[in-house]
């Protein structure tokens, strides 16, 4: 991954992440990203160079939307302000605790959005912690305190298939093709399916949506920086959301700014 995303490119992609107005100033480091990337074989290294660059542009596009500090007239444009936040904004953020025998909420802990992908809910913290190697139930705050763990939760989510949804990685790396039911639901390979995986219930199948347009804007900027074309099917305007049960599927909360 470091051969595609050099430290210089990382700083260009996330141009204003360390600005004084960004609450995550100084948190998201290049070394932490590379350490997390290297912990997941296949991430950003699958397929030809075009596929690798598109996957990494898509990863940063989606996570930048979740952590954006941009606004329409922001310096260098709204899509130069990804990774401005490391925690969900709100006063106070929600508890996001759902009854679970496997991942029971710890007393006094809250499972609101943290990190690049704004991982949310106790069951997601539990599963991410088990996969990455931290106690997500008793220590969810580590996702906002340890940059490597924070990036690892995002890459874990990206790489993990949660049926009936494919993994974001498999879509962008070219390993997923629509089934007959996917085609009937308007789902076709491309960046739009990744948005559907992440937040399709709120953003997809409703025509143009400002949230998914923001995701696309980040993705296009990052593709331009990496010198790769965008591919097809960028939006999910006409895609029906994947069917999912709330307790078994991630629910991600976009940072409110």
* Per-residue pLDDT at 246 exceeds 90: no
* Per-residue pLDDT at 135 exceeds 60: yes
Q: What is the mean pLDDT of residues 109-121?
A: 96
The predicted structure's pLDDT at residue 91: 79
* Per-residue pLDDT at 204 exceeds 80: yes
Between 180 and 253, whose confidence is greater? 180
218 lies in some domain: yes
3-state secondary structure of 165: strand
* Per-residue pLDDT at 239 exceeds 50: yes
Number of domains into which the chain is organized: 1
* Per-residue pLDDT at 188 exceeds 50: yes
* Per-residue pLDDT at 243 exceeds 60: yes
Q: Is 213 a catalytic residue?
A: no
**Mean pLDDT (the chain, rounded):** 93
243 lies in some domain: no
Q: What is the mean pLDDT of residues 197-208?
A: 94
* Per-residue pLDDT at 238 exceeds 90: yes
The predicted structure's pLDDT at residue 254: 36
Q: Provide the pLDDT confidence category of residue 207 given band limits of 50, 70 and 90.
A: very high
The predicted structure's pLDDT at residue 92: 78
Q: Provide the pLDDT confidence category of residue 14 given band limits of 50, 70 and 90.
A: very high
Between 253 and 148, whose confidence is greater? 148
The predicted structure's pLDDT at residue 248: 38
* Per-residue pLDDT at 94 exceeds 90: no
Q: Provide the pLDDT confidence category of residue 247 given band limits of 50, 70 and 90.
A: very low
Q: Provide the pLDDT confidence category of residue 38 given band limits of 50, 70 and 90.
A: very high
98 lies in some domain: no
Within 10 Å of residue 13's Cβ, how many Cβ atoms? Answer: 23
Q: Provide the pLDDT confidence category of residue 90 given band limits of 50, 70 and 90.
A: confident
The predicted structure's pLDDT at residue 66: 96
* Per-residue pLDDT at 129 exceeds 70: yes
The predicted structure's pLDDT at residue 105: 97
- The CA distance from 25 to 79, in Å, is 17
Q: Model's pTM, two decimal places?
A: 0.93
Residues 7, 55, 66, 203: which is the catalytic one? 66
19 lies in some domain: yes
Q: What is the mean pLDDT of residues 39-50?
A: 97
Q: What is the mean pLDDT of residues 49-72?
A: 97
69 lies in some domain: yes
Residues 6+ apart with CB under 8 A from 196: 165, 187, 203, 204, 236, 239, 241, 242
CATH of the domain at 67: 1.10.530.10
Residues 6+ apart with CB under 8 A from 190: 171, 231, 232, 233, 234
* Per-residue pLDDT at 138 exceeds 80: yes
3-state secondary structure of 199: helix
Q: Which DSSP string corresponds to 42-93? A: TTTTSSSHHHHHHHHHHHHHHHHHHT----TT-TT-GGG-TT--SB--SSSP
In this structure, are residues 172 and 44 in contact, taking their beta carbons and an 8 Å threshold? no
66 lies in some domain: yes
Residue ranges making up the domain that contains 191: 7-86+154-226
170 lies in some domain: yes
32 lies in some domain: yes
């Amino acid at each position: 991954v470091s051969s595609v995303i050099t430290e210089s490119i990382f700083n260009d992609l996330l141009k204003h992440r360390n600005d004084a107005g960004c609450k995550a100033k100084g948190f998201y480091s290049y070394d932490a990203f590379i350490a997390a990337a290297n912990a997941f074989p296949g991430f950003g290294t699958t397929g030809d160079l075009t596929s690798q660059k598109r996957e990494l542009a898509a990863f940063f596009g989606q996570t930048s939307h979740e952590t954006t500090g941009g606004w329409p007239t922001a310096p260098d444009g709204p899509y130069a302000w990804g990774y401005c936040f490391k925690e969900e904004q709100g006063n106070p953020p929600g508890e996001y605790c759902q009854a679970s025998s496997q991942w029971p909420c710890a007393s006094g802990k809250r499972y609101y959005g943290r990190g690049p992908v704004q991982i949310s809910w106790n069951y997601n913290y539990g599963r991410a912690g088990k996969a990455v190697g931290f106690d997500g139930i008793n220590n969810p705050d580590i996702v906002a305190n340890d940059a490597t763990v924070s990036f690892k939760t995002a890459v874990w989510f990206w790489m993990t298939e949660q049926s009936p949804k494919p993994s974001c990685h498999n879509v962008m790396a070219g390993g997923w093709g629509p089934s007959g039911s996917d085609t009937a639901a308007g789902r076709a390979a491309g960046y739009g399916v990744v948005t559907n995986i992440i937040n399709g219930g709120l953003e997809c199948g409703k025509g143009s949506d400002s949230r998914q347009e923001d995701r696309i804007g980040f993705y296009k900027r990052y593709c331009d920086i990496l010198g790769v074309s965008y591919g097809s099917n960028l939006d999910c305007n006409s895609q029906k959301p994947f069917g999912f049960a709330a307790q078994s599927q991630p629910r991600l909360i976009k940072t409110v700014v």
